[in-house]
Structure 1
Amino acid sequence: MHWVALAAVLAAFAVALAIHGYVHAGEARSGTAAVDAAADEVPPGVPAGNPVIDPTGRDLRTAAPAARTVALTFDDGPDPRWTPEILRVLREHGATATFFAVGSAVAEHPDLARDIVASGNEIGLHTFTHLDLGAAPQWQQSMELAATQRVIAAATGVGATWFRPPYSSTPAAVTNDVWNAVEAAGADGYLSVLTTLDTRDWTTPGVDAIVAAGSPPTDDGAVILMHDGGGDRSQTVAALDELLTALDVRGFTVSSVGDAVGADAADPPASWWDRFAGWATIAAVRTSDVVVSGLTWALVLSGVVVLARAVLVTAAAVRHARRVRRVPVWEDPPVTEPVSVIVPAYNESAGIEAAVRSIAASDHPIEVIVVDDGSTDGTADLVERLGLPRVRVIRQQNQGKPAALNTGIRAAQHELIVMVDGDTVFEPDTVRLLVQPFTDPNVGAVSGNTKVANRGGLLGRWQHIEYVVGFNLDRRLFDVAECMPTVPGAIGGFRRSALARVGGVSSDTLAEDTDLTMALCRDGWRVVYEERARAWTEAPQTLDALWKQRYRWCYGTLQAMFKHRRAVVQGGAAGKLGRRGLGYLLVLQVLLPLLAPVVDVFALYGLLFLDPMRILVVWAAFMLVQVLMAWFAFALDGESPGPLWSLPLQQVVYRQLMYLVVIQSVFTALAGTRLRWHRMERYGSLAKAA
């Protein structure tokens, strides 16, 4: 069900973004219409006729205001800044007008539409997004008109009769596109209102110019076009006051279109369905605004977190590298005491021989204990046939990896213990370098540097990049901050006495290595990172295997975080783990991946509805940060930067897989489901690295 829930959430966000994008794309279109001056389809009676057009009947009819009568009209509102000012001026002069409202503006400010009607004015349609209807397909024409009608009905309780096509002017200037819009509106029962006098106030030519353009040159009736939205209308408000005064002096009556042409019931009561559908549309528009606002902040927050992590881990890595370059690093004096190496193994026949041979070839005194945990593929037999000195095999019934490790700990002869997975190959100096930090009596565990052995193919390269840039950079940060949450199962060194104090390896979680490390930190031990101690491990070679591995890791980490949550309120080393380590994991490995799908949907929205170039620039900047950080990490690890060419593709494909793993893990944890162990398939590639 969690996939259904995720799909539903993403679908809801996609719908909200689509609504917001469609509605607000009109703002970009406002003032710009398709250029088509052809008028060959316009009936002859239109250019020679009057500004009020009734195309609904068999015969085309036009009308105009009577002599000394002016129909005052306003387009592109309602606007919270200018519409109230215009209503105030109209009230002061005892005049009324017709407001051709943009549906999206009504949805955002229904109270203004209600004020327009309550003040005795008429309200008409100007499309929902200021769309050039003549250039739009029929379905979009009907949708624009219906949506505008419904939000007006919801806001005012009346149904609109009048319609004005965006980008229209006088009857003589009607083009094919404008006529198509008039016909489309007529098919839905609307009467179209063009203009006699266009003040062109939207160009802000000055108050005197607006008054002059809106003053009838004769006593003939006129329809005057002004604007109450779409920009700064301060000149319009000032000009309206002067114009109404001048018209009053000349004896003109100023009214709405319906009163001017003698139309009955210009704004009839709206149906209950239109009111209901209108409120639903208003709710959808407002919800989309909230969603986009929230996603914008989430995107900004995600960017800040990613940038902060880049700065933080880079600064910590520089500090860690400076400490490592000091000579000697830990060897003062060097640790020379023998070490017990424990290898838990369950059906590891593909790589166990290479793993044991590499460990046995260590240049440090060791004993190797291979604990065969009920293998059915002859793993123990393969190790015994090697006949290597200092290597012994312990067989037990299958009890799980924690039990196998605890068996090895009990059998170990030395204080210093190294735990290594059965799919891992050591270099000759790995054990020696790994145990050097134990010269500090406060160090209870040491994490080594895990390397991907099978780097072939895109999946191998991506995991190689993740290990170097993600895991190892983070370990440097955790080391410097003294809050290491995980010593990986592939290579970790421990004090036997420290293990005894925390009760050995617990089986409470699927991430026994993380659980154990957190327990050591809470017990007051310091856990450090020794980057020179390298171990080569097999990475999954299929998406299915990778999914199972990361699912187990992530779920187990969530279990360990919950188990050790009280560290947040503790002091000392436990408090550092809780407030630094757990906080870092919560933000970077849980919350940020949960936001990732929504951020991706928003990025697609930006490409479709915003400035694509700006979105691409932001993405390029993000990638530049990632590449620079990756280059730095590869240089620290002494790796060739060759695989970094695949980093951009990793962000597009691999990243999505990783955040889906986090989502499934979180849902599984919240549901209280007990996840079973997923054993990774072995490929036998370790022999090449040995």
Structure 2
Amino acid sequence: MNALLTYVAATAGLALAASGAEAGLLLYSRTAGPGSPYPDPQVDEYPTLSVIIPAYREGERVMDALDSAAGLDYPRDRLEVLLALEPDDDVTPRALGRLAGCAEAPCERGGIRVLVVRNSSGIRSKPAALREAARAARGDIICVLDAEDVLDRDAAKAAVGAIAGDVAAVQLARDARNPRERGPITIAQHGELEANNNYFIPALRRLTGFVPILGSGYFVRRSALEEVGMWDPRAPAEDLDLTVKLYERGYRVEFLGSPRVHTLAVTSLRGLIRQRERWIRGTLLVMPRAMKVLGRAWPVVLSYMVSPIAWILADAWPLIWFADPAAQALIAGASAASLAVYALKLRMQGGAPSAPLVSIVYAMAAWLAVAKLMVAPRSWSRTRG
């Protein structure tokens, strides 16, 4: 019985800490406000910009990202687009050859140079492909845009204008292009993205000065990127790993509420769990270094990020509900705190009921992440297969 009470007390305490941290960030975000749009910067001479689009067997879907990059409001002679492909990808080049006339050789799209770069590193992963493409790029600024994403036309000027001094990178706010395509799955992701844009990232920035790079729709100064060794080719969450490396060198990342990058939400539950498993595993690998960057605020951030693990450990609560009155009180208290945070989320997100599905996905993904940490901690799996 003592062992059961100890288990319940420990898991309830962890769940309460996670709920408290989440509620604190939600409430604090109301004073922080969303990421602010930047005015059109007055730049005497724009630096060269290379937009890298990592793709794997995307087919015609990559054309949206390609046309978005080529259509940016940016000096034509200072903009180029690179497609970072794996050696065995023959689907994307066929689509490019048919629709853009550049299966492998350099070509032009909208007056912009387009270059296809194969990942010859021997490591099959997005960060490895990005490294290969960055070496072939000519830009002083590197933009990463996923193959299913599109940028607002004014994104480049706004982001480049914000990169100055110790600001080495800029992350654009992200939203879902297909919020209702697959019902609850895509609606939940849309709600999560809007919560990040309007509440969590602004609160995190104001509380800690820390802004995470989110994998797509970010711009980074090439010199800073090279200084930190570029992307780790084996990092499961290469974006967070790069963020921490930049902060470790004294750089900062800025967050823009607008313009935005518009992404395709994952439409399958399997793909969503695979994506979140990789994120959680990558976060756990980076967290020891991130805690140093976050300074005194790391307990709050860590409590928030371990929320999925807290509720995994709580899976056994229904089995021991009747074991002891003290256990019942602890379980009831932690559950009430979680429900209160959920109600707060609903109110702040305009009633979008995304939290339950997101919580279930994170719980399942966290189980997989913990298992993979033991057998293949640095393996890399693609969201869409």
Change (3 A) 1:498 1:301: closer
Residues 1:561 and 2:287 are matched in the alignment: yes
Deviations for 1:122-153, whole angstroms, at most 9, x for unmatched residues? xxxxxxxxxxxxxxxxxxxxxxxxxxxxxxxx
Q: Which residue of 1 aligns with 2:74?
A: 364
Q: What fraction of aligned residue pairs are identical, expressed as a percent?
A: 23
2:145 corresponds to 1:441: no
Tell me how far apart the structure 2 counterparts of residues 416 and 296 of structure 1 sit (CA, whole Å). Answer: 47
- Among 343, 360, 363, the residue aligned to 1:656: 360
Code of the aligned partner of 2:361: L
**Partner of residue 386, structure 1:** 100
In structure 2, C-alpha distance between the alignment counterparts of 1:478 and 1:331, rounded to whole Å: 25
- Given that 2:40 and 2:157 are in contact with CA atoms closer than 8 Å, whether structure 1 keeps it comes out as no
- The verdict on how the C-alpha distance between 1:499 and 1:541 changes in structure 2, with shifts beyond 3 A counting, is same
| Pair 1:629-2:348 in alignment | yes
**C-alpha contact 1:342 1:368 (8 A) present in aligned 2:** yes
RMSD: 3.3
Q: Deviations over 1:439-460 (max 9, x none)?
A: x322101111111222221100
Structure with the greater relative contact order (CA < 8 A, sep ≥ 6): 1 or 2? Answer: 2
Offset of 1:524 from its aligned partner? 0.9
1:330 shift after superposition: 7.6
Which AA in structure 2 matches 1:310?
A: L
Deviation at 1:364, TM superposition (A): 1.7
Per the alignment, residue 74 of structure 1 pairs with none
Unaligned ranges ≥5, structure 2? 102-108
Identify the residue that residue 26 of structure 2 maps to in structure 1: 310
Distance 2:369 2:246 in 1: 25
Q: Does the alignment pair 1:593 with 2:303?
A: no
Quick check: 2:272–2:361 contact (8 Å CA) kept in 1? no
Contact 2:81 2:113 in 1 (8 A): yes
1:557 to partner: Cα distance = 2.0
Shift of 1:500: 1.7
* Structure-2 residue corresponding to 1:523: 249
Q: 1:380: how far off?
A: 2.6
Kindly state the Cα deviation for residue 332 of structure 1 after the two structures are TM-superposed. Answer: 5.6
| Aligned-partner Cα distance in 2 for 1:614–1:436 | 49
SS in 2 for 1:341: strand
Counterpart in 2 of 1:40? none
1:288 deviation in Å? 4.6
In structure 2, relative to structure 1, the CA distance for the partners of 1:579 and 1:422 (3 Å cut) is: farther
Counterpart Cα distance in 2 of 1:372 and 1:294? 47
Computing the radius of gyration over CA atoms, which structure comes out larger, 1 or 2?
1
- Name the CA shift for 1:435/1:375 in 2 (closer, same or farther; >3 Å): farther
**Structure 1, unpaired ranges of 5+:** 1-283, 569-574, 632-643, 683-690
Per-residue CA deviations over 1:207-244 (Å, capped at 9, x if unaligned) read: xxxxxxxxxxxxxxxxxxxxxxxxxxxxxxxxxxxxxx
For residue 416 of structure 1, what is the amino acid of its counterpart? I
CA deviation string 1:296-332 (max 9, x = no partner) = 545544443332222233333x2x55xx37xx75836
Q: Which amino acid aligns with 1:372?
A: L
User: How many aligned residue pairs are there?
Assistant: 363
What is the identity, as a one-letter code, of the residue corresponding to 1:407?
Answer: E
Give the distance between the partners of 1:300 and 1:625, measured in 2 at CA. Answer: 15
Structure 2 SS opposite 1:646: coil
**Structure 1 668/471 Cα, relative in aligned 2: closer, same or farther at 3 Å?**
farther
2:175 to 438, 451, 462: 451
Shift of 1:352: 0.7
Task: State the Cα deviation string for residues 487-532 of structure 1 (Å, max 9, x = none).
Answer: 1221110111111211222214121111111111111111110111
1:413 aligns with 2:123: no
Query: Hey, what's the Cα distance between the residues in 1 that align with 2:172 and 2:257?
Result: 6
Q: Say if 1:402 and 1:512, in contact at 8 Å, map to a contact too.
A: yes
Does 1:423 find its partner at 2:136?
A: no
Do 1:335 and 1:436's aligned partners in 2 also have CA atoms closer than 8 Å? Answer: no
How far apart, in 2, do the equivalents of 1:481 and 1:332 lie? 30
